[in-house]
Homo-oligomer: A and B are copies of this chain.
């Protein structure tokens, strides 16, 4: 569904949201170990997320690291996709047609439409914070070690 880069972005952001605050930042080393992703590659991705649309914040030096502002925690999960430039998955035609609409639908359009709608709503309605809090509650997990 998503690229590796976006999967890492989603996992990392949710993890950071859960583990850190402006007062308690978290290092790329800890993050990549926790979500089981290649460290340098993940660093690049987080770097991008600190620029693009400020989903993630960072600080250098001792006690530095990554964190999410309280404002950022309230962003929809979709904003991660947007920052990764992969937001189009939630809109595009399942057969990859450039033009696929109500007036000119692909053969799967009618059936796929409600599914796409739910998928989009999921990413729009759920905030980063909401997902993170479930980890805190111990009901869900984000470790990738089998």
| Chain A residues within 8 Å of B, Cβ to Cβ | 1-2, 4, 7-8, 10-11, 14, 77, 89, 92, 94-99, 104-112, 114-115, 118-119, 122, 126, 131-132, 134-135, 139-142, 144, 146
Closest to A100 in B: B141
Closest to A128 in B: B107
Shortest Cβ gap from A88 to chain B (Å): 10
Q: Which residues of B contact A119 (CB under 8 A)?
A: 115
Q: Do A1 and B146 have beta carbons less than 8 Å apart?
A: no
Q: Do A131 and B107 have beta carbons less than 8 Å apart?
A: yes
Q: Do A146 and B94 have beta carbons less than 8 Å apart?
A: no
The 8 Å CB contact of A2, one of B94, B142, B144, is B94
Q: Which residues of B contact A118 (CB under 8 A)?
A: 114-115, 118
Shortest Cβ gap from A132 to chain B (Å): 7
Q: Do A115 and B122 have beta carbons less than 8 Å apart?
A: yes
Shortest Cβ gap from A29 to chain B (Å): 20
